[in-house]
Structure 1
């Protein structure tokens, strides 16, 4: 990837991340905790589609095991524009295994960035984690959406 493409990918993933965080934050305020993960997935997918984004739901993640290609077992909740992976949860507290799951998916799909969003957390800030695929040369950003920052 040349430096122009690398810069474009970086900018795109950051812009996409901000759009997703804005939508998820609005959902957290308006819907709140207590629903099934699949409901949050459907609503977020619809909101992102309304932003004219390409959204893939429940995409199979292939894995090579002992020379076999397996398309069963791993599924990404949402993939946005073939750049950003979104893994949703609806649990009281995230566990370390949830972050590891996102990192595994990022590596298997060779994607630069993932968001782990837990709609069961008490606050949105506690439930939103940004995970960077360290196997690629992408620049992490600590910035979240201006909308999100204004309310936290």
Structure 2
């Protein structure tokens, strides 16, 4: 008799595993309690050191009919040119954080978003998959 362990299929699993591994190391070294900007700076350092393609504060414009709306979105990071990464340092990830990340996914054409929360003793990890 043989058994097969089924693991869930996550789009861009290899890429998101690398991002999450980076976050775990940052959380282990810095702990929780710093402002968001500190974790963003640490992420930028780690992504550069690991030679992972990223862009910080990536701007996304919103096309509406034939115009570009004046409001723009700025995702914390886009990593591997495929994954939206949002960094938080709060007690809990709020509904607004999910909505914001979904909006970034819609504007960017990316399929996967990660919300990483450094605000607690245990790193919070939320993976969002957007299928238009």
Identify the TM-score tier after normalising by the shorter chain: 0.7 to 0.9
Deviation at 1:79, TM superposition (A): 0.4
Report the Cα distance in structure 2 between the residues aligned to 1:95 and 1:11, rounded to whole angstroms.
23
Q: 1:55 to 1:71 in 2, by over 3 A?
A: farther
Report the Cα distance in structure 2 between the residues aligned to 1:11 and 1:96, rounded to whole angstroms.
22
Deviation at 1:13, TM superposition (A): 2.2
Report the Cα distance in structure 2 between the residues aligned to 1:79 and 1:44, rounded to whole angstroms.
12
Runs of 4+ in structure 1 deviating by more than 6 angstroms, as ranges, are: none
**Cα deviation code 1:34-55 (max 9, x no counterpart):** 2121111111122112111111
Say if 2:86 is the partner of 1:87: yes
> Is the deviation greater in 110-119 or in 27-36?
27-36
Higher helix share: 1
Report the Cα distance in structure 2 between the residues aligned to 1:59 and 1:120, rounded to whole angstroms.
23
Q: How many residue pairs end up in the alignment?
A: 124
TM-score under structure 2 length normalisation: 0.84
Q: How does 1:135-150 map to 2 (within 5 A)?
A: 135=132
Q: Secondary structure at the match of 2:12?
A: helix
Larger radius of gyration: 2
Picking from 105, 126, 131, the partner of 1:129 is 126
TM-score under structure 1 length normalisation: 0.74
Gaps of 5+ in 2: 1-8
**Cα deviation code 1:43-94 (max 9, x no counterpart):** 1122112111111000111112464213644100000121011001111111
| Partner residue, 2:12 | 13
> Is the deviation greater in 71-80 or in 110-119?
71-80
Report the Cα distance in structure 2 between the residues aligned to 1:122 and 1:83, rounded to whole angstroms.
29
| Partner residue, 2:38 | 39
